[in-house]
Amino acid sequence: MSPIIRGYGLAAAAILVASTAAFSGPGAFLKGLTKSTSNAFVNHAPLNNLQEVETKLSMSTVDETIGTSTKLEDYVAARGGDRPIRKVLIANNGMAATKSILSMRQWAYMELGDEKAITFVAMATAEDLKANAEFIRLADSFVEVPAGKNANNYANVDVICKIAQEQGVDAVWPGWGHASENPKLPNSLDALGIKFIGPTGPVMSVLGDKIAANILAQTAKVPSIPWSGSFGGVDDGPLVAELTAEGTIPDDTFEMATCRSVEEAVEAAKKIGYEEGIMIKASEGGGGKGIRFVDNEDDLKNAYIQVSNEVVGSPIFLMQLCKNARHIEVQIVGDQHGNAVALNGRDCSTQRRFQKIFEEGPPTIVPPETFKKMERAAQRLTQNIGYQGAGTVEYLYNAASDSFFFLELNPRLQVEHPVTEGITGINMPATQLQVAMGIPLFKIPEVRKFYGKPDMYGDSSIDFLEEDYKPVDSHVIAARITAENPDEGFKPTSGTIERVKFQSTSNVWGYFSVGANGGIHEFADSQFGHLFAKGPTREHARRSLVLALKEIEVRGEIRTTVEYLVQLLETPAFKENTIDTSWLDGLIREKSVQVERPPHLVVLSAAVFKAFEHVKAGTDELKKSFT
């Protein structure tokens, strides 16, 4: 074994201390932290299959010294919790793992005065180890897991549970993607007596079904766009239902919203109408599969067969298309005591093939009184189903008619949650942690502060459905930094990264999942960075983000979208906030936004290419002369 110096590295140097309302950067926090340099790692041979996992899962040597201080236990008891969590397994990698460790460690230091009050165990594949992934360096220890696609590791519930049990963790933080929305994970952990930092398995299961989720939303009086479940209730009104004891929608109600044949789809379409267009969706579809748009009966019949063949066995439903829609989100958190809070929201309308590019908050396109209705509807849904943890209720919003419709409830923390942190001052991963420890929402200090309570550490109750939080007086815009090539249809790229040059300021901050001499491997998510700009207005935040993107420098083998993002931010439509969810795909289709290259660089590149071709031709001729 050889000792490895454990430092915070590039990501921690750039990360915003997200729960600090002033966004003065991480300097004060990081200066107060120390990191052990005595830890040594065991060199592991890569694990190649699940059978090896059963016998070879092993952990790096780690300083297991836990302070004798009872500050964490005292805090949890004082705030009304019942389950101190001292050791957490991070069942994720990349951006999610990096951000979670930084945020929860920052909370531990700022709240308890001890950044080591919570110990973090990471999972690491051979690819992440080779790429010098930042989250591995940030964790207190790591367990090497099988390499390759995520079904072997971060999405493998059996692997996660085995590690959690063997390492004696108190809880598992799932992040986003991978196994974060697999109800088998919370169910399996619960059977082992390990806390899942998120909703319960039954609730997650029902939310994962698009038909069931829409019925639950209608039951909570959340507006829904006309769909096949809009009929069949009292006076042919929207279907409603309460969850059964098993946490499911009653079968008869579920079937009334489902189109089990072409004939049933045709009848549902007649009730919805073809005027706006109709979406045919597989309830278990996703990632672009099991979805078609039609505007007449003949196309409907063909599309129904296509959808049923793409997602075999999935229930199918119909939904009216919402044209000129904005994608608006409400950040919700539910606790174990039946409380549900809405922490403002985000506008994520800049999307490329349903992938978010920019996120911003608050969603200024929505009038305050309408957005308040969105929040209250999201809270009712959260309370009705007994949701626990952080989640996001997503809506489609039509600015022209000032109407909104339920889209889905994501049962996890979103990638863009730092936008919410920026406008509320609430550390979201730390809030997840405190909810998991049984602390009521109205006793979480940052929540109390957001609601203007004079005593952050008081215990007076807050009626979140009646009381309002303090007005939000700032705007945050975020940009995802991805390893994609905009010249080739945003094709993901991989390779080494020598250096990321980025300097946080008082109003621009960011974090990255790669360190110096790191890289992006073929199984990694293409996003490796996230920048956030804050200002008193949307325009101030936009200009700050443009400047930050112009100054960032990424050196390595990968391509990035940084220059393209600058061009998008400078378009009149983005400046005037007149975009919708189809805006960016339209620009890409028309190729109306392109990264401009300096003329001298174009000329030089052309000359080099011509010289290369000349040499290559001469070399080929020379080779032929020897044959």
> Which residues constitute the domain of residue 274?
224-320
pLDDT at 597: 56
Please check whether residues 190 and 65 belong to one and the same domain.
yes
pLDDT at 343: 98
333 domain residue, yes or no: no
pLDDT value at 234 more than 80: no
* Residue 254 near residue 292, CB atoms below 8 Å: no
412: annotated active-site residue: yes
pLDDT at 199: 97
Please check whether residues 45 and 189 belong to one and the same domain.
yes
**In this structure, are strands 119-124 and 87-90 parallel, antiparallel, or unpaired?**
parallel
Nearest to 494 by CA among 91, 9, 8, 94: 94
pLDDT, tens digit, for every residue of 342-364?
Answer: 999 999 999 987 789 999 999 99
Please check whether residues 236 and 316 belong to one and the same domain.
yes
Kindly indicate the confidence band of residue 51, based on its pLDDT and cuts at 50, 70 and 90. Answer: very low
Please check whether residues 290 and 189 belong to one and the same domain.
no
pLDDT at 30: 36
pLDDT at 353: 78
430 domain residue, yes or no: no
pLDDT > 70: what percent of the chain? Answer: 86
Last residue of a domain, one of 320, 342, 360: 320
As given in the structure block, the two tokens for residue 419 are 């936008």
Please check whether residues 187 and 108 belong to one and the same domain.
yes
Domain total of the chain: 3
Residue 2 DSSP class: E
356 domain residue, yes or no: no
207 domain residue, yes or no: no
Domain CATH number, residue 296:
3.30.1490.20
pLDDT value at 558 more than 80: yes
Active-site residue, selected from the candidate residues 6, 412, 480, 559: 412
Please check whether residues 194 and 246 belong to one and the same domain.
no
In the chain, the amino acid numbered 142 is F
pLDDT, tens digit, for every residue of 370-422?
Answer: 999 999 999 999 999 999 999 999 999 999 999 999 999 999 999 999 999 99
341 domain residue, yes or no: no
Please check whether residues 15 and 113 belong to one and the same domain.
yes
* Residue 198 near residue 333, CB atoms below 8 Å: no
- Write a three-state SS string for 205-232: HHHCCHHHHHHHHHHCCCCCCCECCCCC
**In this structure, are strands 316-320 and 278-286 parallel, antiparallel, or unpaired?**
antiparallel
Please check whether residues 141 and 254 belong to one and the same domain.
no
d(CA 382, CA 626): 77
Domain CATH number, residue 190:
3.40.50.20
Please check whether residues 498 and 577 belong to one and the same domain.
yes
d(CA 211, CA 318): 10
Last residue of a domain, one of 183, 198, 213: 198
539 domain residue, yes or no: yes
pLDDT, tens digit, for every residue of 167-205?
Answer: 999 999 999 999 999 999 999 999 999 999 999 999 999
Phi, psi for 378 (deg, rounded to 5): -65, -40
615 domain residue, yes or no: no
* Residue 153 near residue 123, CB atoms below 8 Å: yes
- Mean pLDDT across the stretch 521-536? 90
Indicate the angle between helix axes 562-569 and 538-551, nearest 10 degrees.
Answer: 150
Helix, strand, coil percentages (3-state) for the chain, rounded to 5, are 35, 20, 40
Please check whether residues 147 and 264 belong to one and the same domain.
no
Phi, psi for 75 (deg, rounded to 5): -65, -50
Domain CATH number, residue 590:
3.30.470.20
Last residue of a domain, one of 320, 343, 373: 320
Please check whether residues 242 and 121 belong to one and the same domain.
no
Please check whether residues 186 and 251 belong to one and the same domain.
no
